[in-house]
Amino acid sequence: MDVKSEIAGKVWKIVTAVGDTVGEEDEILILESMKMEIPVGAPGAGRISEILVEEAESVQEGQVVARIEA
């Protein structure tokens, strides 16, 4: 499962790690955009297999920022 950013912005904080188990809509990382902290949630439950961005990195709308194995 691809975890996509729904907004362009900067990665502010990564609050999970590879291997973590998450439920649907759990926060995986937090972006900073429009002067707000915007959580990026899990599209479904599973285990985080990849985190593809680093803190302070810029991301585009629709960019895959992490992957989850169901």
Partner 1 sequence: MDQSKQNAPGTGVRADLQAVLDAHAATQDAARKVAVDKQHARGRCTAREGIDQLLDAGSFVEYGGLAKPATKGMQGAADGLVMGTGKVDGRPVAIVAYDYTVYAGTQSAVNHGKISRMFQYAERQRLPVLCWLDGGGARPHDMFVQSMSMSTTFVTFSRLSGLAPTVGIVPGRAFAGHANLAGLSDCAIATKSASMGMAGPPLVEAALGMKLTPEEIGPADVHMKAGSIDLLAEDAADACRLARKYLSYFSGPVAPVAAPDAAKLRDMVPESPRRAYDVRKVVEGMVDADSMLELKPAWGRAMVTALARIDGRTVGVVANQPMFLGGAMDSPACAKSARFVELCDAYDIPLLLLCDTPGLMVGPEIEKTALVRHSARLLSALANATVPMMTVVLRKAYGLGYYIMGSRPLHPAILLAWPTAEFGGMGLEGAASIIYKQELEAIEDVAERAEAHRAFTAELKAYNTSLRVGERVGFDDVTDPADTRRILSATMDTFPEPPRRTTKKLTVSPI
**Alpha carbon distances (Å) from 25 to 3, 18, 56, 57:** 10, 17, 22, 22
Query: Under the criterion CB under 8 A, does residue 2 sit at the interface with partner 1?
Result: no
User: Which of 1, 38, 45, 64 is the binder for partner 1 (CB under 8 A)?
Assistant: 38
Query: By CB under 8 A, which span of 15-23, 35-43, 44-52 interacts with partner 1?
Result: 35-43
Measured from the CB of residue 19, what is the shortest distance to partner 1 in angstroms? 26
In whole angstroms, the minimum distance from the beta carbon of 21 to partner 1 comes to: 22
- Cβ neighbours of residue 35 closer than 8 Å, sequence gap 6 or more: none
Q: Which residue type does 28 have? A: I
